[in-house]
A and B are shown apart, each in its own frame.
Chain A
Amino acid sequence: MKHRKIVALGLLCLFGSAVLPLQSMLQREAQAAHFQKTALSINLRERIGQAGFLAALSGFRSPLAALLWIQAHTAWENTEWGRMAGLFETVTTLQPRSLPYWDMAAWHMAWNASIAALQNEKQPSEAIRIRAQRAYIQLGRDFLERGILNNPDRPQLHLQLGVLLRDKVEDHCAAAEEFLKASKYPDAPAYAARFAGYEMAKCPGREREAYDYLRKLYEEGEKQRLPSLINLLRQMENKLDIPPSNRILSDVPNSEN
């Protein structure tokens, strides 16, 4: 029996050594397909505690992230913005490939927390309230930018960053760039390209480029010929003094949409 145990141990070592290159190859293959990229650091260990870290190490990253997300939701109900931000940080570290987590974390920070900070009755100084509001918007932007770095193969977070830059930062040039990036993905929704054009039109110095871009979309056919696009094209044709012969078809009805 003892002899067999030693033989078994020897065979186990042989097998372990032989399978090592296969395991390394499989790991590289998995990482190339965006699997197993989560970095479990000491910093994360401090945030989720020993039991949580052990669970994350044992293949239970996603259930742990879900439980922490519920805690973040409770923190939202209690308007504990700082705690929420910390929990979002942890959840997105645990599940960096999960788009709803990045998206919702950014939305809570840039919309809910920023408005709450601006309307904070306990803070008499308006300057401080505005500064806090900007800090939360920046936090939301950070979430989306890091989400994009972790998900370079998907358009959704570019779209959300475009919306944030458009509505909260009012940086139309940067918003146009994000919508443009989103529109280049094969699975991007059709509105991504239109939004890029709309924002480009508001970007000083890029009006002509925006007109040409929107005109190109218009030429793509009925799918892109929405009232808002047609109206904007008409306005730009007047503004840029486009010759009548080059303008979009005159039989297109004017719309207020």
Chain B
Amino acid sequence: MKSAGATLAIARNTFTELVRQKVFFFLLIFALLIIGNSAFMAKFSFQEQFQMLKDISLGAMSVFTSLIAILATANFLPKDMEDRTIYTLLAKPVPRYRYLLGKLLGIITLLACATLLMSALFLATLWLRESTVLAETRAQMAGGSTEELAMAVKEVTDATFNINLLPGIAIIFIKSALLASLTLFISSFATSSIFTILMAAALYFIGHLQSTAREYWLSGVDVEWWSRLLAASVAILFPDLQAFNLTDDIIAGTAVPLALFLNTAGLGVLYVAVYFALAALVFSGREL
């Protein structure tokens, strides 16, 4: 119980520290991006406007959360060592894995807040645009029949908010938590934050190709042995980040079955737990 309290204290401290580092300033850029986007899009049809607003906003959410996850996680260990806070902490009866868990929880809380705030901004913009377009549509269809008006209104509402956007956003958050955990694992043996960031960025790209390598390997195509070995290594060592890219198709109107969402979320949580466990294992033997 005492350890859990220490973990939560570290998590709270990590979160506060990141907030003080003005991490949330990125929200200004996000807001400018989506508001500017919706103002610029006025010349497009409403279907195009909503499509692009969703494309840009969810894409930006994915970029920002991934960047925060990698940069915030890569930085904390070297920083704690540099200003010696890690020694003060670990001198107390706090196991190393608790220290890492606290840090990871702090970063995941920050990611959750960032995702919630961006979602709120995005949904508010979408709602405002929808209200404007609906008002215009009602004014244009004032002389028409009730059936025609209902059809026009349905066309607008169908193009704007879609309940499937919510699981899509949840998966963006889980992917960022996975990246934070993966970066934590790298930083558990890395000697500098630059190395951690570069490695995490490389893994980000390789992770998106993992499914291709896996299919190539498992399909049993008759190729050189070393080529199959390479594909097998990529498939086994790296996470399948492509599995977490549901938003591209959600934006296009594809519905997410509950089983698919739960399985994807479950896989994400499993990755987070495993990378954390590996990070704790390596970090427990690290000389500080």
Task: Name A residues whose Cβ lies closer than 8 Å to a Cβ of B.
Answer: 1, 3-5, 7-8, 11-13, 15-17, 19-20, 22-27, 29-30, 33-38, 54, 57-63, 65-66, 69-70, 73, 95-101, 103-104, 154, 189-190, 223
Contacts and interface: CB of A to CB of B under 8 A. Distances in A.
A5 B287 CA distance: 13
B194 interface: no
Nearest to A99: B253
Interface residues of B, number: 64
A101 B208 CA distance: 25
Given A4-B284, A73-B44, A101-B51, A23 B249 contact: no
Given A4-B282, A8-B278, A20-B235, A30 B260 contact: yes
Interface stretch (B107-115, B132-140, B263-271): B263-271
B252 A97 contact: yes
Nearest to B255: A33
26 contacts: A4-B285, A7-B281, A13-B237, A15-B274, A16-B235, A17-B236, A23-B243, A24-B214, A25-B263, A26-B263, A35-B246, A36-B242, A37-B249, A54-B205, A59-B208, A59-B248, A60-B63, A62-B54, A62-B247, A62-B252, A63-B59, A66-B59, A69-B52, A96-B252, A97-B254, A98-B51
B62 interface: yes
Contact of A189 (B151, B159, B210): B151
A62 B286 CA distance: 42
B23 to A, nearest CB: 22
Interface of A is mostly: helix
A57 B206 CA distance: 10
A22 B151 CA distance: 42
A204 to B, nearest CB: 32
B275 to A, nearest CB: 9
B251 A16 contact: no
Contacts of B270: 19
B253 A97 contact: yes
Given A24-B214, A69-B48, A62 B278 contact: no
B153 to A, nearest CB: 13
B247 to A, nearest CB: 7
A66 B254 contact: no
B235 A59 contact: no
Nearest to A104: B48
B120 interface: no
A212 B214 CA distance: 55
Given A29-B260, A62-B59, 20 more contacts: A1-B189, A1-B287, A4-B285, A8-B281, A16-B235, A20-B235, A20-B236, A22-B263, A23-B210, A23-B214, A23-B240, A26-B260, A27-B240, A33-B256, A37-B249, A62-B248, A62-B252, A63-B56, A65-B55, A103-B47
B174 interface: no
B52 A22 contact: no
B60 interface: yes
A103 B52 CA distance: 15
Given A29-B259, A62-B55, A95-B248, A100 B48 contact: yes
B77 to A, nearest CB: 15
Instruction: Determine which residue in A63, A69, A104 has the highest number of CB atoms from chain B within 10 A of its CB, and name it.
Output: A63
A47 to B, nearest CB: 18
B93 interface: no
